[in-house]
Amino acid sequence: QSVLTQPPSVSGAPGQRVTISCTGSSSNIGADYGVHWYQQLPGTAPKLLIYNNNNRPSGVPARFSGSKSGTSASLAITGLQAEDEADYYCQSYDSSLIGSRVFGGGTKLTVL
Amino acid sequence: QVQLVQSGAELKKPETSVMVSCQASGYTFTSFFIHWVRQAPGHGLEWMGILNPSGGSTSYAQKFQGRFTMTRDMSTSTAYMELSSLRSEDTAVYYCARAGGGTTGAAFDIWGQGTMVTVSS
């Protein structure tokens, strides 16, 4: 059972907008620690997609955006493309666990 | 360019130990923390621990306390993880990842390519 909760799967047609939710608690997302999102393409290492809730590293398309409110965060992908089909993970810090970084269980995005 | 390069795949018997290396290049090794994250086949990401290469201090996820050790060799900019008393459930891809030290809970901005560790008799 992951500390952060994500839906197991989401899907959308090319060009559409999808969102992936990440629900935490008062000891992680709600404690104002940054939420980060990673994209993992099949057979590859995770790649940083969004950091500190809503910041994109250099090279990440503006189609990807993040937001946070209370104890939840969301990743939005607009203009869906076939190459976006991947697993997406949220991650944060949890103050109730010594030194602990926590991940969501991951969400499989299928482009129809 | 900035990268983390890990050692190759390992096949280990139960109750033995495995060591995986993670060599950093393209940046100052002591300026960023190194985390270890693993991913069992078909499962999600699991955080294992954090190493500060500057002073060598470590913090471990409670689940791995007692059988997981992180070290570093500053002369080669290499971080190491060792997991002992291996069992079949430890079969996974092990990743090292870099994170900034200036903010608690900074993101993992650079990842190694992963090392597959298989535990089987």
Residues of A in contact with B103 (CB under 8 A): 34, 52
* pLDDT average, residue stretch A22-38: 94
Query: Tens of pLDDT along A4-28?
Result: 999 999 999 999 999 999 999 999 9
Contacts of B87 (CB under 8 A, 6+ apart): B14, B15, B119
Asked if pLDDT for residue B102 goes beyond 80, the answer is no
> Is A34's CB within 8 Å of B105's CB?
yes
> Is B106's CB within 8 Å of A34's CB?
yes
Q: How far is CA B3 from CA A85, B84, B116, in A?
A: 25, 27, 18
pLDDT for the residue numbered A99:
65
Inform me whether the C-beta atom of residue B65 falls under 8 Å from chain A C-beta atoms.
no
More confident residue, A77 or A99: A77
- Nearest by CB to B104, which of A87, A89, A93? A93
Query: Tens of pLDDT along B29-47?
Result: 999 999 999 999 999 999 9
pLDDT over 90, % of chain A: 90
Average pLDDT, chain A: 95
* pLDDT average, residue stretch B11-23: 98
Query: Tens of pLDDT along A41-66?
Result: 999 999 999 999 999 999 999 999 99
pLDDT for the residue numbered B43:
96
Instruction: Report CA Rg, chain B.
Output: 14
Residues of B in contact with A104 (CB under 8 A): 44
Average pLDDT, chain B: 95
Inform me whether the C-beta atom of residue A81 falls under 8 Å from chain B C-beta atoms.
no
